[in-house]
Structures are given as C-alpha cells and as structure tokens.
Amino acid sequence: MRMFPALVAATLLAGCGLTTDETAAADTAITIENCGAQVTFEQTPQRVVLLKSAAVPYLHSLGVLDRVTARAGQYPKDYYDSATQAELDRIPLLTDKTDTSGHLQISKEVVIGQQPDLVLGEVDNLSRDTLAAVDIPLLEEPALCANATGEPSFDDIYSQMQTYGRVFGREAEAASAIAALRARMAHIQKPSRVRTAAVLYPTVGGGVTYAYGAGSMAQPQLEAAGFTNVFGDSAERVFEVTLEELLGRNPDVLILLYSDGDPEAVEQAVTGLPGTEKLKAVANGDVMPQLFNFTEPPSPLAVDGLERIVERFSKTS
C-alpha cells in the first residue's frame, strides 16, 4: 500500500475519528494471507471499492460500510435490512453490468480511477496482480479463491469476520458480531424428517445448469437445515450437471440460486425442461429460488439463507 509521512498519517487519523482499535491498527502493519498471497496494510483502509456484494454484511456488522467510496455489481435489496440498504444507497454505483453467468463487466481504468486503498472482490479482467502493479491491495472471499480447497463451514464466516475486524481495526465489533451469529445458529431447528436436496444454478433462457458439491457452502447449509446433498459425493464447489444426472439422483427438494432478476423465471428455467415433472421436488412443489449470496460464499447472509430454507421446508416436513 502507499506510505504516508507520519505527520500526514496522524492528521488523517485524528480527522477520521478512529476508534482505539483502529488507531492501534494504523500504527502496526497487519499482514493477511488471502488466496495464497500476503496482503499487508500499513493503515486501516479509508477508500474501499466493492466489486462483489459478499463483503457487505461483514462491513455493516463492523460499522465500516461508510469506508466504501464506490461499488460495482449486483446488490439485490432482498439481501439487506433497512439500515444496510440506506448505507448502500449512499455509495455510488459504477456499473451493475454482468454477463449471463453473473460475472461483473467493468474496466480496470474505472476501478483504478477511484484511487482505492482496498478493493474487495476479484473479477476476471481485474486481477490481484493488475492492482498490485499500481499499489492497490485486493482481498477476495476465501471460498472464492481460485486455489480454494476443502469443505467450507459456518466457522469460516466467523473466521472471515475476525479477518475484516483486523483489517479495519474493529476486533471488538467482530467478536460481538460472531457471538450474535452463533446465537442465531443455536436457535435453528431442523425439520423432523431427513430429506435429500440439490442446490443448482440454472441458466435462464437456456444453457448450462450447475450443481453445488461438498466444496461449496451449500453443503454445510443443507446439513444444518436437515438435508442430505445429493451431489455431496463430489468434492468440487460447483460443476456442470445434466438433466439425466439430476433425474437419476431425484432430490426431494431443489434450491435454485440466482444473482438477480425474476425468481419465477429462474424456477421456470428448471421446471420447464422436458422430463423435470418426474422429479419429486417438482411434482411436490418443493422448489425454492434463492439469491446467490444467501448460500455462497460463506458470509452472514448464509445464516439468513439457512433460516429461510428451514422456514420454507419445515412446512412440508
């Protein structure tokens, strides 16, 4: 990151009204390991650009969403409470243009022109190395790293909250947020009957359908909701799946992820395929469209998504 002279740095800290934790963090370099890279912060970030929405609930919980000076991508209102939405509405939107897979379309010049001291979320044409070349650090959600391995869990949410707490000098707020999330998890009651489920990402308008395996947050989310993932035998996070394979596994429940748009169109992208009427989930009406970040990647929104799944299917258990 850029280094400021000591006098200028002290003036900036005083002017920003930073907390004791933040002042201490600004005086001590913090190094975060992210996607196999070492990212060092000499100061707490003051100009953040969001290229993905996954970090929003973390930043809101820590009280630092006002550090975001620009954002890009999709931020569906259904994700957020009124307080979070009000904060987002004050942040300029650079673009919400995405391709059919939900990937952000934005030029590196637009992002670099914002002069951020931190970018959250990596996109196809704006890599960590590209930003590092102009002295801008990047953090990606660990589960979305290209080299991510292992099986995610709800503990990853707590760990990432701690990481953001360190970066922004808000360790105390991070601890409080984690305690609140753990309390919510402790109160979730699974349906009485164990059933099978599949989490899919269909392409609206025709195209590839993706399924989520043991390498995705869908796995622990389904387990916590009392379901067995029919694609849990795959270690992959996400992969293409054919209609024939879906019919062969015949889950009791379908959860259909989507980035934005009409949830009915998302459901029709699956239920309208020839032969899907043979699926138990379709025949019984146990199909639930769910916005992407309510399941992936691990974030506080995955706890919201879990609560929604349990509420939806406890009625049919």
Please report, for the domain that includes residue 233, its CATH number: 3.40.50.1980
What's CA 190's distance to the chain center, in Å?
Answer: 23
Residue 116: asked if its preceding bond is cis (omega within 30°), the reply is no
86-107 pLDDT tens trace: 999 999 999 998 876 667 889 9
* Residue 175 and residue 227 in one domain: no
Give the domain-ending residue among 120, 155, 184: 184
Q: What is the mean pLDDT of residues 46-75?
A: 96
Q: How confident is the model at residue 8 (pLDDT cuts 50, 70, 90)?
A: very low
Determine, yes or no, domain membership for 239: yes
Q: What is the mean pLDDT of residues 106-131?
A: 93
Of 56 and 207, which is predicted with more confidence?
56
Say which DSSP state 277 is in: G
Q: What total number of domains does the chain contain?
A: 2
* Residue 176 and residue 201 in one domain: no
* Residue 114 and residue 145 in one domain: yes
Determine, yes or no, domain membership for 167: yes
> Which residue range(s) make up the domain with 270?
191-314
pLDDT of residue 21: 57
Q: Alpha helix (H) ranges present in the chain? A: 6-16, 20-27, 56-62, 82-89, 108-112, 128-132, 154-167, 171-186, 218-224, 243-249, 263-271, 280-283, 300-314
* Residue 122 and residue 11 in one domain: yes
Q: How confident is the model at residue 216 (pLDDT cuts 50, 70, 90)?
A: very high
Q: Which residues of 242-253 are buried (b: 16+ CB within 10 A; e: fewer)?
A: eeeebeeeebbb
Q: Is 24 a residue whose pLDDT tops 60?
A: no
Q: How confident is the model at residue 1 (pLDDT cuts 50, 70, 90)?
A: very low
pLDDT of residue 18: 53
pTM: predicted TM-score of the whole model, two decimal places: 0.87
* Residue 195 and residue 179 in one domain: no
Q: Is 19 a residue whose pLDDT tops 60?
A: no
